[in-house]
Chains A and B, each alone.
Chain A
Amino acid sequence: MIQRGLTRRELVRRYGAAAAGVALLGPRALSSVASAQEATPVALPEIPAIPAALKGSGNVVVASWGGAVLDAQLKAYIEPFQEMTGITVTVADGPDPSKVKAMVDTGNVEWDVVQLGRGDVLALDGYWEEMDYSLFDTANLDAALMRPDSFAMVLFAEILAYRTDAFPNAPEGWKDFWDVEAFPGSRTMPAAAQLPFLEGAVIADGVPMDEVYPIDIDRAFASFDRIKPHVVKWWEAGAQPAQMLTDNEVPLAVAFNGRITPVKEAGAPVDIQWNEGLLAEDDWAIVKGAPNRENALKFCAFCTLPAPQARFSMLIPYGFVNSKAAELIPADQLARLPTAPELRPKLFLRDEQWWAENRESVIERWNEWILE
């Protein structure tokens, strides 16, 4: 459900959440999503007593993406938050950077907290309240995620997904993904709207995972040149790669982990190679001039507590940001999360700052390149 850019939001706006989530996924995947959610054990970890500092009164307006993410957020954060803090939450739909811009520009701020990709937060520099981490459970948070103007709410991974019936040995990483002799067949990779996967391209060319940034753009495109003839589709929507794997259109894909897990659990011969996966984040950001800034901070702080984080990751297979949450999640469920202790080291975090600086020129170049 979570992905970068506006693509999904655009679809939702035009065709309703069901269409964006369901139609792209197709009937097979749809039923699998439903069953995966129903199969989730109801026994969510209880949230222990919270610090008095988080309690309060009044209201806070939270703009969430809606759909399955919101369903999980309601159970994981919002309902317990209301109960335990005494602050009521109003959910607004369709967080959109342009709306934030309009609100702040016209001095008519209706939202307090907004869920956005880190890239969007960076793009709207100066439109956010400073994050005050004094209320947060900082001991268990990754300092890299504690941005001055937003805080990671969820982590998801862009990973290598493959069909288990296509090759004798599983592909081990991006080198294998690029190796069309050892791993013959078509590929699908994200298109520009999802950010071109330059990281995979340079890793395939020999750059170690932790030295990816700053990306050598020329090197990345040279690497792309080699794989380009084998990419049948540069996908725009997160559902597409899962669909194409399931339909056996391609044996190899770059995909979001949250899209692959459901089809895998529904029985499709599909698996995730976590090695060299790219970890990206969705953040909570507080809109500049938010009328309920205090409550918004309390809300963000509450969400990042171990138990709410664990509950969310158990409801939808996206990673938690509080490392203590791992202790609260049953092992079998932990194994499908990118932030599981065994998996997290295999992944690297997207450098949103680098992308904020280079996104425009990369995409311009990409547009030329794709039509060459």
Chain B
Amino acid sequence: MAALTHDLQGADREGQVARFQHLRRREQWRYVLLLLPAVVFLIAFYGYPVAAMLTRAFYDPVPGLQNFEPLVTARSTVEFLGLSIPMNAYIRVFWITLQIAAVVTIVSLLLGYPVAYALSSVSASRANLLMIFVLIPFWTSILVRSYAWMVLLGKEGIINEALLAAGLRTEPLVLLNTRLAVYLGMIHIMLPFMILPLYAVMRGIDRNLLRAAGNLGAPPSAVFRRIFLPLSLPGVAAGCLLVFILSLGFYITPALLGGQKDVMVSMLIQQQISLLKWGFGAALALVLLILALGIYALFTRVLGVERVFGSART
């Protein structure tokens, strides 16, 4: 008898829990409905074409995985830390791409952080004004900006002319068609993408926290190190992520400003498309996408973006 009551209670409880979960689910569905138009739009005009393109990797020209074969076929080996690693041009290009994206990200962060910090410490109206200068590059096409770098960096470009005129050099420096030129061109384009999320997060940092730290005895350097910097990390993470992933897909800048070996994955993809080897191009794009997603996952895990995000907004 006692056991029966107990069971009944248990069942009742479960029923209640289920009802509650049902209500919660209904609540969640309401939010999903709000997102629906955007989701439908994205699926129809972005998700579907991208998926259609990427799935070609598996059936164009014939079904199978042969499109991924060149990626894993070793053409040579490279000695690294005493290991001999199988190598081919495609792996190399992926490696170069990662390298370039990483350098661009780090330098953009180092340059962008102080700018965002300065912008976030002036009044909102002045910041809006100064923001125009950050955004101006946005309004110029990537091609024009790359060309501007060519004018600056060329053998007879402004920098070399100045160096020669000043007598600092007798021979022009080789600046154009180098990795350096790729970095410059890409960082120039990427800086706003770094500054904007940094700025957004920094603006959101409660100034009273900084005052509180000062009040508790922290000199300005400690206020920055212990309070501002950690609280700005979500912006750092978002900015780095954005810049890194956008950099992975760069095409025009390295093609125009880079040297012999500055080949990035997107140039390779472009080449395959022009060869009508869509399947292999799709395979390359798919690997790049997986790489980007993997890095995104790594970012959020390692930097704990979500945790920091959550706590910065108590």
Contact = CB atoms under 8 A, between A and B. Distances in A.
Interface of A: 5-7, 10-11, 15, 19, 23-24, 26, 97-98, 120, 123-124, 192-193, 228, 231-234, 236-237, 240, 243, 247-249, 359-360, 363-364, 367-368, 370-371
Contacts, number: 94
B276 A370 contact: no
A193 B141 contact: no
A99 to B, nearest CB: 12
Interface string B42-76: 00000000000000000000000000001000010
A308 B149 CA distance: 42
Nearest to B258: A233
Interface in B230-271: 252, 255-256, 259-261, 263, 267-268, 270-271
B147 A23 contact: yes
B314 interface: no
B275 A248 contact: no
Interface stretch (B20-28, B85-93, B107-115, B116-124): B85-93
B92 to A, nearest CB: 5
A11 B251 CA distance: 11
Contacts of B39: none
A248 B155 contact: yes
B170 interface: no
Contact of A193 (B142, B147, B274, B278): B274
A193 B271 contact: yes
B17 interface: no
The dominant DSSP class at the B interface is helix
3 closest Cβ pairs, A-B complex = A6-B274, A23-B143, A367-B89
Nearest to B157: A247
Contact of A15 (B141, B155, B157, B273): B141
B259 A97 contact: no
B143 A367 contact: no
B143 A24 contact: yes
B192 interface: no
Contact of A233 (B89, B96, B259, B275): B259
B282 to A, nearest CB: 12
Contact of B156 (A7, A232, A247): A247
16 contacts: A7-B270, A10-B270, A11-B143, A23-B141, A26-B150, A124-B276, A192-B271, A232-B176, A233-B259, A236-B267, A247-B154, A248-B155, A363-B275, A367-B89, A370-B260, A371-B261
Contact of B177 (A26, A123, A232, A367): A232
B144 interface: yes
B276 A231 contact: no
Contacts of A243: 150
Interface string B134-162: 00000001111001001100111100000
B179 interface: no
Nearest to A9: B274
A231 B147 contact: no
Contacts of A7: 270, 274
A6 B93 contact: no
A23 B148 CA distance: 10
A24 B147 contact: yes
Interface of B: 70, 75, 88-90, 92-93, 96, 141-144, 147, 150-151, 154-157, 174, 176-177, 252, 255-256, 259-261, 263, 267-268, 270-271, 273-278
Contacts of A249: 154-156, 176-177
A228 B88 CA distance: 19
A145 to B, nearest CB: 23
Query: Chain A CB within 10 Å — which of B150, B151, B275, B278 has the most?
Result: B275
A364 B259 contact: no
A120 B92 contact: no
Contacts of A234: 260
Given A232-B259, A248-B155, A371 B141 contact: no
Contacts of B155: 247-249
Nearest to A7: B274
A120 B263 contact: no
A98 B49 CA distance: 14
A370 B70 contact: no
Contacts of A240: 256
Contacts of B267: 236
B260 A23 contact: no
A209 to B, nearest CB: 26
Given A247-B156, A371-B93, A359 B275 contact: yes
B60 to A, nearest CB: 11
A368 B143 contact: no
Query: Chain A CB within 10 Å — which of B260, B261, B273, B277 has the most?
Result: B260
A82 to B, nearest CB: 33
A29 B5 CA distance: 92
A240 B277 CA distance: 25
Contacts of A247: 150, 154-157
Contacts of B142: 15
Query: Chain A CB within 10 Å — which of B92, B154, B276 has the most?
Result: B276
B276 A98 contact: yes
Contacts of A120: 276
A57 B89 CA distance: 54
A206 B171 CA distance: 35
Contact of B260 (A24, A228, A368): A228
Contacts of A26: 147, 150-151
Given A24-B143, A232-B176, A371-B263, 4 more contacts: A19-B144, A23-B143, A367-B89, A371-B261
A97 B276 contact: yes
A243 B75 CA distance: 36
A363 B260 contact: no
Nearest to B91: A371
A160 B314 CA distance: 67
Given A23-B147, A371-B261, A371-B263, A6 B90 contact: no
